[in-house]
Structure formats: C-alpha cells, structure tokens
Amino acid sequence: MNERLYLAYYRLNQIPQENCVPEPFGSYFREVARFLLSVSKDAENHSLYRDILPENYGNSYANPDYAVKMLGDGMGQILSAVYAELRGIIPCVFEEDTEGICVLLELFIEIYGDFSGGDIPETGAVRDIFRSYCEDYLPDYAARRIREQVSDGHSFARDIIMNADYSGTDYLYRFGEYITEDVLETARYIESLPQEEIDRMAGTFTEGFRNGFIQMRKDMSYKKTVQIVYELGFERMIKAAVLNFRKMGLAATFLRAPAHLVTKGGNRKNGYTGAIPNMQFDYDHREDLGLFLDDEYVTKRLRALQMGYEAVKEEANAHAGPAVLETFGEEPFTPSICRSCITLTDAQTAKMTRMKTEGIRITNRYIPEKDRSFTIISYPVPAIGRDFPAIFNETVKINTMDNDAYRTLQQSLIDALDLGHAARIRGAGGNPTDLVVHFHPLEDPAKQTAFENCVADVNIPLGEVFTSPELEGTNGVLFVSRVFLNGYEFRDLKLTFRDGWITEYSCGNFEDPEEGKKYIEKNILFGHPALPMGEFAIGTNTRAYVCGKKYGIENLLPILIAEKTGPHFAVGDTCYSFDEDNPVYNPDGKEIIARDNSVSLLRKTDPGRAYFGCHTDITIPYEELGSITVLRRDGNNIPLIENGRFVLPGTEKLNEPLDQWAEEMNTH
C-alpha cells in the first residue's frame, strides 16, 4: 500500500505542469490536483475548504452549476460529483489512513488518464470509472464505519478528547474538520465553566441514556459500547461523559460524519463533525448516488452492510446505542436552486427508500431495537448572538428540569386524552390550522393508554405527551408560519391530511409555487408521493417556549426543544418504527398500545410498504395555537388548551412561565 501511495503522489505531482488534456478539462484536472496535493496536517485549516466556502462556491468545480457551465452538461455533473468525493481525502490525511488516501488518488488519476489520450471520453465511460470505485470500496467503507461504531478499538477522536490541553484550542485542528471562530468560541466558553457545571451537564447526558434502558425495561448489563455523536467545541464535557459511561461499563466510540458518497445518508451529522463549510455544497450533492443508483447497486450496498455487521456481530450485539449532543444557533439555511445538481428519478427514490428500509432491518438484526436505547440533548453555540452566555445557562436549566413534577402534570393530560376518541387542534391569529387527529381505542383503560409520558430520559429536555395516531379519521389542515425542518427553513408551510395522509402541500419560500412544492417533496416527503402522520404530541415545556420568545430565538431552536413548545405532528414513520412488537409502559404501569398504524402493520404482510425511513416533526408554537380539545363520543368534550394557555385542571402550573413572561413584558 505504501508503494501504491508513493506512485500515486509521484504521478499526481506531475499533473499541474501537464497540458495533455484538452481544455476546458485540463483546467479542472490541474485545479483538483493542486487541491489534493495541498492537503496535509500542516495546512492552514481554512485553506482546505476555501473553494467551497460560500464566497468562492460560485466559481468552484464543486458547484454543479459552475462545473456544467465550464465542462458541459453531463460531464460537468459527473466531474463535480467526483470532486466532492475527492474532498474526503481531508479526514484520511489527518487519520493517516494510507489506504483511504491511496484509493482516492487512484480514482482521480484513472479518470485523468481517460482524458489524456487525445479524445474526450464518453460521459458513460467516466461514470463507469466512478461507479466501479464506489462499488469496489463500498464493502471496505461500510465495514470500517460499522467497526468504528460498535468496537472499542478505533480511538482517533477519543484520544484527542481524553488527552487534550483544554487551556487552549489548538487541539481542535487535530480532528481534520472545518474549524470556525464559532467552534473556537464554543470551546473557550466550555473551558470557562466550573468543573461542577461540566459534571452536571455530562451527568444529565449520560443519565438520560441510562434512564432510557430503565424506563423501557431493557437490560444494559451486557452492553459494552456507546457511540457519542457531537459537534466540535464541547470536548471538555464529552470527556466527562466518557468517564461517566466508563463507570457504567460502557466504552465510548466516536464515528466521524461520513465523508464518502457510499456511506452518506440523509443526516450529514451522523457522527462527530466540525463546522459545515457550506450547507449549499452539501445540499447540491445530496443525491449524487443518482449517477448510478439501480437495483444492482442497492443489492451490493445491502450485502456490504450485512457483511460489515457479520464481521463484528458479537460487538454489535453488545452495542448500547447512540448518545447525541446537538447544537443550535447557527444561521438558518434556505438553499438556492441548483439547476444542474444530480437528482433522483421517481424510480431511484423508490430504490433509495428500499435501501434505507432494508438497511435498518439489517442493523436491527445485529443491534436489535428491543435491546438498545439512545439519548439526545441540545446546547446553543455562540453564533446565536450576544446573549449566548445567558441562553446557554437557560438551556442548561431547561435540560435539568424536575422530571417528577412534570411527570405528574403530563399524566393529567394523558388521563384526559385517554377519555376521548380524537383531538381537534385549531390555530389562532390568522393560522388556518384545523385538524382532527384520531386515537387508538383502549380495550382496557385501567391497564392501557394511547399516550407516552415523555420526561428527560432519552429525549432531553422533558415536556411532551405523544401518540401514534390512527390514520383513518385524521383529517384537516396543518399550518405553521415559520419552521426549521431537517436543517432547512420553511415559511407558510401548509399540509392537508385525508385519513392521515398528506394529500396537498405548499410553502411560501419561493415566488413560484411549484418550486415550493419541489422543496417540500425533497425535504419533507423525501421523494415519496405522500406520507402518513406518524405522531401527534402536545409539548408542555413552557419554560423553553418563553426562552425562545425572550431572546428572540424561536426560529433557531432545534426540533428537540421546539417540539416541546407546542403541539407537533410528525410525518413519516411512527415513534415506534421497527420496535412495535415490544411492549412499552408509562411510569404509572400502563402499557402504551398506540405503537402501530395501518401502514406499519403492513410489516406483517407487505414489509416493503410498511416504512418510509423518515420522521419529521412539525410544531405549532403556542402563539399560533387557538385550542386543543379532546373529542368524546358522548359530546362532553374536554378543553386542554385555549388561546395558548393550559386550561385542564391539574395543568395550571404549566402557565406560570407564560404568566411571568407576560408580566416581564408589561413591566418593560
């Protein structure tokens, strides 16, 4: 391998001085070669990302529109996708991954050689080279990610975290990720906190993970690893979390966010990551698999996944799940329209869904859903503005609110909801929401419930009761004036449901309504012709809501917190997807029976139609909420919320943060 690497670099060094490839392609190869040669541990961090940063992206071959303009339709898209793949050399260099570096250089040199014969090759020939590379190394890439997730052996990131000198920030540059001033400021702020505060934050994080096993009555005694997912800057807290997990008998594993096309999924942050240099770049290349996604590729991808798990099946069975630290406060992103980017056809979208669904099934065979858990927590970053310290401190308090008190308050809501067959949700202040959501009937109300009482265990902060509704009879309109979903902003989002399925949709992001529909199709429907409602929930964390209003950050709150600040509705799979057959209980001992709907039940007869591989929460904030009413067969309906305030007896305490905020506003 070292010999191959030497030969690859030797050949690469010659390319910037050569003129054997006709223009305009010669310029592409010389520029990409210079980039590949520039990547080293000693390189200035921003120089590694310079040409994809927003200010330079318009003239970068990583931009499909620019590549097509310079290189022509067809070849431009392919060579732009190849360049996006080659940028994965950065983490390879920092991890001293000789094979990873070598195969990328050889890919580039092989394509260059195809152009060096005097004639421009056919686009199909170049695409085939790229496809062969992807398929040849797919088993290696998949196996490595699985191994790093479930096995204790890979320690690149963990070694940095556990041995860093936190009196400075130089250690951040050793990860091989994009480091911005915001990441540096985050690290400095975390370093400024007293150790007891760090320990409290880490304790909330790790105890939430442990409590997930306790709450769901799962056995953690034989588990050996937990994967920590986070964004750079929080290393001091993560170190404390690693030590806490060790006391539980769990070794922390760290998996970098995927850098290769064949391992990327819908979630760019599926692993630890630094700052994202350019969201538009990620958005433009999100469907590059469309170059060659067909049944043969799907089969190879699934086979590679299974082989990867089979190689570490004992470690996989002992893997406890992910512990995720998310951040919020970054500038909201609304993508520009890229006319030249690769997009999946309808047929390819169906294949992608099948690949994801089958992939989840394979994962569940080796890391059974019924035997694992997770936890998620969020903290702000300095990009949120000058009130960052105050917002951070308030977030810590929100993340550590009293579970016992909220469990009792939320039980009052559940007791009322279980008396009804449906709920009606109506908007206020011009919000046209008018939606009836049907519940699963209870055969034995003394032992059963339709709603889960969610406090701060796996899903931090506390503050919601939720159910998987019955689709049949769930009808109406859902509207929200502004919401951020899957990292993208939506304005005046409107969804119409008929028997639980989205039948019409629109948003106000673009002048052309058709562009708005395409935006929804790509980033909410994910290419499906329709999606069902997989969850209905009532958020109860009025303190989090007031925090958003007080600091003017409602639009920046992550869904993890935003979903607790009003009723929310998830489209896609249910809350219990792939785990429907495992009993789940509330703290009062009642079994939560609303784990299925008429779609997920298809897993027993037609598994390919039972799941969608997505679950997107959409929240109506309290100020846009007119009422939530429990509908009863006898007509004695029960109001829960009116004019954005809780009116059900036993829930009045939830109004206290709202009253305090109103009083503060009147005082000022």
Whether 406 and 540 have beta carbons less than 8 Å apart is answered as yes
Q: How far apart are CA 173 and CA 641, in angstroms?
A: 50
Whether 91 and 176 have beta carbons less than 8 Å apart is answered as yes
Pairing of strands 434-438, 488-498: unpaired
231 - beta bridge partners? 273
**In Å, what is the CA distance from 467 to each residue of 410, 443, 452, 534, 565?**
13, 16, 6, 8, 17
Amino acid of residue 633: R
Residues 365, 366, 371, 375: is their CA dihedral positive or negative?
negative
Amino acid of residue 144: R
Residues 542, 548, 554, 558: is their CA dihedral positive or negative?
negative
Whether 150 and 317 have beta carbons less than 8 Å apart is answered as no
| pLDDT at 454 (0 to 100) | 87
For every residue of 450-495, which 3-state class applies, written as one string?
CCEEECCCCECCCCEEEECCEEEEEEEEEEEEEEEECCEEEEEEEE
Run of H or E residues at 505: strand 501-506
For every residue of 129-185, which 3-state class applies, written as one string?
HHHHHHHHHHHHHHHHHHHHHHCCCCCHHHHHHHHCCCCCCHHHHHCCCCCCHHHHH
Amino acid of residue 459: N
Token pair in block for residue 494: 């409107």
| pLDDT at 354 (0 to 100) | 87
| pLDDT at 621 (0 to 100) | 86
Count the alpha carbons within 13 Å of 83 in the hemisphere toward its beta carbon. 28
Whether 1 and 92 have beta carbons less than 8 Å apart is answered as no
The DSSP letter of residue 608 is G
Task: Round the CA-based radius of gyration of the chain to a whole number and report it.
Answer: 26
In which residue ranges of the chain is pLDDT below 70? 266-269, 668
Run of H or E residues at 107: helix 98-115
Q: Where are the beta strands (DSSP E) in 216-280?
A: 225-229, 251-253
pTM: 0.90
323 - beta bridge partners? 228, 375
Tokens 């469907």 -> residue: 287
Whether 547 and 570 have beta carbons less than 8 Å apart is answered as no
Q: How far apart are CA 231 and CA 149, in angstroms?
A: 16
Angle at 197 between CA 191 and CA 199, to 5 degrees: 95
Amino acid of residue 54: P
Compute how many other C-beta atoms are within 10 angstroms of the C-beta atom of residue 429: 11
Residues 338, 342, 347, 350: is their CA dihedral positive or negative?
negative
Q: Helix crossing, 25-38 with 64-71: angle to 10°? A: 140
Q: pLDDT tens-digit profile of 116-149?
A: 977 899 999 999 999 999 999 999 999 999 999 9
Nearest to 437 by CA among 592, 631, 611: 631
The mean of the pLDDT values for the chain is 93
| pLDDT at 266 (0 to 100) | 54
Nearest to 479 by CA among 576, 566, 572: 566
| pLDDT at 558 (0 to 100) | 85
User: Considering the chain, what percentage of its residues have pLDDT values greater than 70?
Assistant: 99
Whether 357 and 303 have beta carbons less than 8 Å apart is answered as no
